[in-house]
Amino acid sequence: MPSHDRLRPLKAWRYIGAYSPELMLCIGRVRVGPLHQSFWAVWDRERLHERTLIGSRQLRLTPGRAEVNAPDARIALSFNETPGVETVGRSGASYAWTRKQGGVLLTGTVCLGGVTRELHARGVIDDSAGYHERHTSWRWCAGVGIGVDGRELAWNLVEGVHDAPVNSERTVWVDGEPREVPRTAGDGLRFDPQAERSRRDNLLIIRSAYRQPFGTFSGDVAGIALAEGYGVTEAHDAWW
């Protein structure tokens, strides 16, 4: 995509989240015009380990692979990419695109403080790019779980972007099969936050504030009762 649509700079990001009972983590890279930011976080059920950096010195993201090489952390993940669910929608006078992959199996190792642990988890991958409105605000919920009937579930629910009544990015994957769901699909979800990533940036022209806790889910998603569920919620407000 071009670097600008008229005066609007391109905003783009890749977020990789892996959620399991033992470990939950995320790795990501964000671009707003010429500015680049990267981040990683691991919740090991005892402590939240995280870093947010200008640039991407500690991260390497390639198709099917994500790596972190930081002084206090080493993460190496492999996963099989899928076509995902793509959505294109208006954003003011311009447009934005996203692709979500749900229930992706991620395997690898996480080394923190000299202790290496194996990771075998399912998760959600968010690829987004567009010429979003100057002020953009959204609430997001992504997770994986098992239904009481044994089916594997994953979900991506959102308000504020790509949230039209139809042809939205709202998706629930049931045994790997995606289906668009209505705005009420998350009304039965209950979330227990356990460790929170939060950050405020004020670079004058660009301002951002977000909260993204890791935690567990209960209740039901799109009417399917959960036996267990893991993931994140997010509230993000950006002037960019």
The kind and range of the H/E element at 42 are: strand 35-43
pLDDT, residue 128, reads: 98
4 in a domain, yes or no? no
- Shortest CA distance to 107 belongs to which of 118, 93, 96? 118
Number of domains in the chain: 1
Asked if the structure places residue 135 within a domain, the reply is: yes
- Per-residue model confidence (pLDDT) at position 231: 98
User: Does the residue 5 lie in any domain?
Assistant: no
User: Which residues of the chain register pLDDT less than 50?
Assistant: none
pLDDT of residue 152: 98
pLDDT tens per residue across span 21-52: 999 999 999 999 999 999 999 999 999 999 99
* Angle of CA points 144, 26, 64, to nearest 5°: 85
What's the confidence (pLDDT) of residue 203?
Answer: 84
What radius of gyration, in Å, describes the C-alpha atoms of the chain? 17
Residue 15 lies in a domain: yes
Q: Does 53 map to a domain?
A: yes
Residue 144, in any domain of the structure: yes
Domain region containing 223: 10-239
Within a domain: 3: no
**pLDDT, position 98:** 98
Instruction: Answer whether residue 46 is part of any domain.
Output: yes
**pTM, entire model:** 0.96
